[in-house]
Amino acid sequence: MLMTEAATYDEFSMFEENAREAGLSYDEPPAVDRCETTLEDGRRLSALRWGASPPDLVLLHGGGQNAHTWDTVALALGRPLLAIDLPGHGHSGDTSADRPVGPRSLALDVAVMIERLAPAASLTVGMSLGGLTATSLAGDRPDLVQRLFLVDITPGVNHDKASDIISFLAGPETFASFDEILERTILYNPTRSESSLRRGVLHNSVQLDDGSWVWRHQRGRPRQLEGDDAVDLDHAGLWDTLGSSGAPLTLAKGSESPVVDDDDVAELRRRRPDAGIHVVDGAGHSIQGDRPVELAELIERAIASS
C-alpha cells in the first residue's frame, strides 16, 4: 500500500472527493495553482491560490497542518483566496533550527507573501497557530488585515487545553507504513471521517527512500517536541493585540474542543465586546475538517457583516 499511496499522490486530484463528502456540487475542477514567494533570507513560502482573480481571503492553517486543510472550505466558498503553508509546513521551505517559530516570526514571514499576492484581502482567517499568527499580523501590519476570523483559538491557549494536540505532534518521528501514520491520525481525530483523514495524511506526509513515512513539518528538521516545556504557549500578550486591533473580529469555537473555554470567551468579550462568537456543533479543534460547510457559511457572514 505504501508505494501505491506515494506513487499516485496528486495534490490537485482529490477536490471532487472533498466536495462529494461535504455534499457540495462539483461540475469541474476548481482553478487552483501552487505559487511561491522567496523571503529575503532565501527561505521559500508556498501557497495554494484559488481562482483567477486577486485573492479576497487569506487562510492560515494550524501547527502541523498545511494549506490543504482548507480545501473543502475553499470549495464551499467559491471565492478567490490564498491558503498559505506556514514556514516549515507543507511545501514551504524548512525553518532553520535556530529560527523561532512563534506567531510573531511567522507573521513577519507571511506578511511578505500577503503583501505581494493578497494585499487587498477582505478577511484573514487563522486556525490555531495560524490564528495566533493572524492576530500578531493584525498588530504588526494592520494594513494587511481588514477583518480577522479566528478558528478555535484565543491567546488564552495553554498546555492543558492543547494537551491532545501536543501529544499528537510529539508522536513518532517516522512511521513504517502509510497505514501506521493514518492509524495514529484516526486515533487523535475521533470527529473526522477516515476518508477525510486519509486525504489529510496524503497532503501532510511524504515517503522516504527507505519506504518509511514522515510528516512534512518534521522532514529535515531537528526534534522540537520533546515534552511540554519544548512547546511555547505563552501568548498572553496577544490579548492586548486583539483588544487594540481595529479589525472586525469573529471567533468560531468547536463545541467538542477544549482549546477555547468559557473563560477565554469571557475575556474575548471583555476585550472586544463587538466580536462575533459562534459555537459550531459537533466540531472539534479543526472545524475546517469537521464542519467545513458550516465554517464557510460563518466566513461569508463575517465578510457581509462589516
**What are the tens digits of pLDDT across the range 5-49?**
555 789 999 999 999 999 999 999 999 999 999 999 999 999 999
pLDDT at 21: 97
* CA separation for the pair 149, 131 (Å, rounded): 8
pLDDT at 94: 66
* Least trusted range by pLDDT, from 113-122, 148-157, 185-194, 263-272: 185-194
pLDDT at 225: 39
Q: Which domains can be identified in the chain, with CATH numbers?
A: 2-304 (3.40.50.1820)
Catalytic machinery residues: 128, 152, 285
* CA separation for the pair 208, 206 (Å, rounded): 6
Say whether pTM exceeds 0.85. yes
pLDDT at 282: 95
The C-alpha cell that represents 134 in the structure block: 493572524
Please give the backbone phi and psi of residue 8, each rounded to the nearest 5 degrees, phi first.
-100, 0
CB 140 within 8 A of CB 296: no
pLDDT at 93: 76
* CA separation for the pair 46, 86 (Å, rounded): 8
Tell me which H or E stretch contains 49.
strand 44-50
Closest by CA to 64, choosing from 194, 195, 162, is 162
Output the 3-class SS for 20-44: HHHCCCCCCCCCEEEEEEECCCCCE
**What are the tens digits of pLDDT across the range 171-225?**
998 999 999 999 999 999 988 899 999 999 999 999 999 999 999 987 655 444 3
pLDDT at 276: 97
**What are the tens digits of pLDDT across the range 53-104?**
999 999 999 999 999 999 999 999 999 999 999 999 999 976 555 566 789 9
* Beta bridge partners of residue 82, listed in sequence order: 49, 58
Percent of the chain topping pLDDT 90: 83
> Which DSSP symbol is given to 259?
S
> pLDDT at residue 230 above 70?
no
